[in-house]
A and B are shown apart, each in its own frame.
Chain A
Amino acid sequence: MRPTTTGASASALSADPPLAARVPLDLLDRRLLFVTGKGGVGKTTVASGLALLAARQGRRTLVCQSDAKGDLADAYEVSGLEFAPREVQPHLFAMAMDTESSLREYLRLQLKLPLVAKVGPLARAFDFIANAAPGVKEVLTVGKYVWEVRERHYDLVVVDAVASGHIVGQLAAPQAINQLVQVGVVRNQTSWMLDILSDPAQTGVVVVASPEEMPVNESLELAARIRDETTVDLAAVVVNRVLPELFGRGEEEVFVRLRRPERVVALSGAVGGDVGPVLDAAELAVTLRRTGAGHLATLRAGLPPALAMLYLPYLFSRAVGLRATHRIAEALAEELGR
């Protein structure tokens, strides 16, 4: 590709560890990634892009949707996803989590219970207990993902996880359940779950943020809580919708002078139309970019220096669905140095 890449990164590795840490070559080499963040920042976009990238590189990949919104299906332009995974792109399988199906599978595979047919109302009741009793639903949900990893059905499992308000509870559930439930199958299950969840080589959390005030604040709080309250490694922070920088060094001063009335008149005359609003738009773009950059600086300063940060550009195009997902995958590939 680029002739100097190997030499440059090799020297960077020895001379400057933080630089190497900014390029987390191992992100897709993990087995289980939980993609989370504040509502509205683009969790599904990032999760679907990461999974597509992994699949494009030949990994057998499972991507899981945690809620019933259906955005993941839109990202791959397929109709509604179900609990049973289905191949939506080459090497890429997609599924939607639902607790009742997870319980059925759990009863069938773990408890060898033959009453699958009669389990309907029972599962609804259980679903309620699972909601009320701390940790049970979480263990059933996270347990399914970890189980897929343990059984080596896939090279990588990407979870389009619940939002920041809920993810810590979900990831901390295996420990919590150990304290609450003294005996039973659920307790037995938590030990192997913890082994996989706590291993940074296998499992990581990807926090998605956007360059705005509240998402940045929430990401910083979330990063701290993941460190303090769970055993899962924070693998990377992905900043979505980063606006482009318009002007390079010295060019902004040129732009400011260009806005003097006599020069706007001259330029309008030369172009044959009013450039005033076009220049206004550029100033708005500069302002939006600058506001976002301020929030990004806050985010970077508040995170551990060695933590990987990936930046995804704002997509101005009308691309939606699979086309947009491919573009996100490409942007991620670039950031990951692949």
Chain B
Amino acid sequence: MSPRGGGGRDSTRDGTRGGPEAREARDGHDVHDARKVRAAGTNGGDRARTLERLLATKEIVVSCGSGGVGKTTMAAALAAMAATHLGGKVLVLTVDPARRLANALGLERFGNTEVVVPPEAFAAGGVEPRGALWAAMLDTKQSWDDLVRRHAPDARTRDAILSNALYENISGRFVQSHDYIAMERLFEIHSSGTYDLIVVDTPPTRNAIDFLEAPERMGEFFSSRLLRWLTAPAKSRVLTVTSKPFYRVADSILGSQFLGDIAEFFSLFQTMAPGFVERSGAVKRLLTDRRTTFLVVSTLEAAPAREAEFFVRELDARGLHLGAVILNKVLPTYLRRTNLTPVARALCRDAAALAADPSVHGGDEPDQVARVLQEVGESFLNYQVVAKRESEQRDELAQIPDVVATAPYLEADVHDLAGLLRLGEQVWR
């Protein structure tokens, strides 16, 4: 079964297998060339070509895609491959991994602390990594608390915010705070300079671009008229002409006490504005930096593929770098072979006659053999429809990015590091 999906990608292999060259790129010598290569890529010449080369030249890789396509697992698999073959310190920052994936990475508890994946886990998979793999899960609540501690002007304000009854609800909800926190945490870890490569899994969002906009919205929020309105009752009872109807309606709907609570909270919150505004600008710059690349993970089913296409366009519109499209859980290419269609049809049509042949039934009950042949033929034709549909989706998605990698449908779920590496091998070169 060809993991490459038969796209003729073998011809683009150039024998680069991590090793010294990739290491060199990480150190900066080769980065410029790699960019030239990518720039030329749109003309059909050399591209980054492989995820291996792409990751060797980047510091941040953001894995995106709609729910259920396997982006969390793919992010972990790529981080494991990078730690194994490229070396250095590699961190995978995940948001909400399946229990077995957390186990595979040795993450027993949720928390913002990064933990190293024990070398024994690699050894169990028969691999001696060149570098080290670290893993962390995003804890939104704890991250918010940390942010408040950092940006609050004084201890009294800090404690007032943290103990405010609305704080927990609000920190969990407004301005896509979950998305903002993921990006903020990424910025913090990146600035620490601890890791050579950070692979980030993005939170599941209703709309895939939400998290891209989160830093900007956070910055805008602090300078908005809305915040002024919200905080007005706490500062003064004198309302402006424009905000008066707002309070009249809000009062009658919510009651003034609740509104007062909200106002008090946002007044406290506003004291953190300078820190937040500056920080959200820095987060935004980091995302558009050339050291950052985005991977779009998708299956070839209609809905995820459509979302992937949308996402690819949005990245482009924002000047963000799309490094690769990774197609996951793809059916094997032999299903698309048209010369197999008449064979499958013949199995359906002539099942009884075929099963009557002693060299075919081989001693089995011919009726039973006929039923099996019929099922086999029908099933093939069924899956061929799906495989053809997938192939059309693939053609549409494959037009834009530097790298298109394909991973087959794996029969077993990934439950250890060896499994992650097996998945990574499918897309790496």
Q: Are B98 and A214 in contact (CB under 8 A)?
A: yes
Would B372 and A247 count as touching, CB distance under 8 A? yes
Interchain CB contact under 8 A, B380 and A316: no
Q: What residues on B are CB-neighbors of A271 within 8 Å?
A: 343, 346-347, 350, 354
The complex places the Cα of A334 from the Cα of B161 at a distance, in Å, of: 55
Whether A68 contacts B207 by the Cβ 8 Å rule is: yes
B123-180 contacts to A (CB < 8 Å): 166, 169-170, 173-175
Contact B169 A134 (CB under 8 A): yes
Which A residue's beta carbon lies closest to that of B72? A214
Interface hits, A100-132 → B, CB 8 Å? 107, 111, 113, 115, 118, 122, 124-126, 128-129, 131-132
Tell me whether A215 and B357 are in contact in the complex, defined as CB-CB below 8 angstroms, given that A181-B254, A185-B252, A254-B372 are known contacts.
Answer: no
Are the C-beta atoms of A255 and B372 separated by less than 8 Å? yes
- Tell me the bound Cα distance from A190 to B295 in angstroms: 44
Decide yes or no: A260 and B362 within 8 Å by CB, A162-B206, A163-B206 being known contacts: yes
Tell yes or no: A317 within 8 A of B by CB: yes
Known: A271-B354, A281-B380. A213 touches B413 (CB 8 A): yes
A132 in contact with B262 (CB, 8 Å): yes
Q: Is the interface of A mostly helix, strand, loop or mixed?
A: helix
- Given pairs A133-B170, A284-B331, 6 additional interface contacts (CB within 8 A): A39-B67, A71-B303, A128-B230, A163-B206, A247-B375, A288-B409
Q: Are A125 and B229 in contact (CB under 8 A)?
A: yes
Residues of A within 8 A of B357 (CB): 266, 270
User: Please, which residue of chain A has its CB at the minimum distance from the CB of B226?
Assistant: A128
Q: Is the CB–CB distance between A131 and B304 below 8 Å?
A: no
Q: Which residue of B lies closest to A320 (CB)?
A: B302
B 43-85 to A, binary, CB cutoff 8 A, 1 in contact else 0 = 0000000000000000000000011110000000000000000
The reply to whether A267 and B360 contact each other, CB–CB distance below 8 Å, is: yes
- Chain B interface: which of A22-30, A231-239, A272-280? A272-280
Name B's A-contacting residues (CB within 8 A): 66-69, 98-100, 166, 169-170, 173-175, 204, 206-207, 226, 229-230, 245-246, 249-255, 257-258, 262, 302-304, 331-332, 334-335, 337, 339-340, 342-344, 346-347, 350, 354, 357, 359-360, 362, 364-365, 368-369, 371-373, 375-377, 379-380, 382-383, 385-386, 389, 409, 411-413
Q: Smallest distance from the beta carbon of B250 to chain A beta carbons, Å?
A: 7
Which 4 A-B residue pairings sit nearest by Cβ, starting from the closest?
A39-B67, A40-B68, A184-B255, A266-B359
- Docked Cα-Cα span, A213 to B99, in Å, equals 11
Q: Which of A71-117 contact B (CB under 8 A)?
A: 71, 107, 111, 113, 115
Residue A338 at the B interface, CB < 8 A?
Answer: no
A-B interface pairs (CB < 8 A), number: 202
Asked if A184 and B253 make an inter-chain contact with CB atoms under 8 angstroms apart, the answer reads: yes
A282 touches B253 (CB 8 A): no
Closest-CB distance, B159 to chain A (whole angstroms): 21
Given A40-B67, A258-B372: A132 and B255 interface contact (C-beta under 8 Å): no
A246 partner residues in chain B, CB cutoff 8 A: 375-376, 379
Per the bound structure, the CA–CA distance linking A186 and B252 in Å amounts to 9
The chain A residue with its CB closest to the CB of B375 is A246
Instruction: Report the minimal beta-carbon distance from A138 to chain B, rounded to whole angstroms.
Output: 10
Chain B residues, CB < 8 A from A255: 372, 376
- Contacts from A to B (Cβ < 8 Å): 38-41, 67-69, 71, 107, 111, 113, 115, 118, 122, 124-126, 128-129, 131-134, 136, 162-163, 165, 180-187, 210, 212-215, 217, 244, 246-248, 250-251, 254-255, 257-258, 260, 262-263, 266-267, 270-275, 277-282, 284-285, 287-288, 291, 316-318, 320
Q: In the complex, what residue of chain B is closest to A127 when comparing beta carbons?
A: B226
Residues in A neighbouring B229, C-beta threshold 8 A:
125
Q: Let me know if A272 and B334 touch, CB within 8 A.
A: no
Q: For the complex, give the distance between the alpha carbons of A251 and B376 in Å.
A: 11
B112 → chain A closest CB, angstroms: 20
A284 touches B68 (CB 8 A): no
Q: Which of B206, B262, B303, B377 contacts A40 (CB 8 A)?
A: B303
A250-B375 Cα distance, complex, nearest whole Å: 14
> Measured between C-beta atoms, what is the minimum distance from A6 to chain B in Å?
32
Residue on A with the closest CB to B388? A318
The answer to whether B68 and A212 have CB atoms under 8 Å apart is yes
Contacts of A287 in B (CB 8 A): 411
- Chain B residues contacting A133 (CB-CB under 8 Å) are 166, 169-170, 254, 258, 262
* A40-B332 contact, Cβ under 8 Å, with A182-B255, A254-B368: no
Among A250, A284, A320, the one with the most B-chain Cβ atoms within 10 Å of its Cβ is A284
- A162-B67 Cα distance, complex, nearest whole Å: 13
Q: Is the CB of B68 within 8 A of A125?
A: no
Question: What's the nearest-Cβ distance from chain B to residue A233, in Å?
Answer: 25
**A111-B253, A182-B255 known; A284 and B169 CB under 8 Å?**
no
- The residue of chain B having its C-beta at the shortest distance from the C-beta of A162 within the complex is B206
Question: Is A273's CB under 8 angstroms from B340's CB?
Answer: yes
* Nearest chain A residue, comparing its CB with the CB of B331: A284
Closest CB-CB distance, B248 to chain A, in whole Å?
9
User: Once bound together, how far apart are the Cα atoms of A318 and B249, in whole Å?
Assistant: 51
Given A113-B249, A275-B347: A213 touches B98 (CB 8 Å cut-off): yes
Q: How far is the CA of A335 from the CA of B229 in the complex (A)?
A: 53
**Given the complex, which residues of A lie within 8 Å of B411, measured CB to CB?**
287, 291
Contact of A316 among B249, B262, B383 (CB under 8 A): B383
A to B CB contacts below 8 Å, 22 in the list? A40-B66, A40-B303, A40-B304, A69-B207, A124-B226, A126-B250, A132-B170, A132-B174, A133-B170, A134-B170, A136-B254, A163-B204, A184-B253, A184-B258, A185-B253, A213-B98, A214-B68, A246-B379, A250-B368, A254-B368, A278-B344, A282-B380
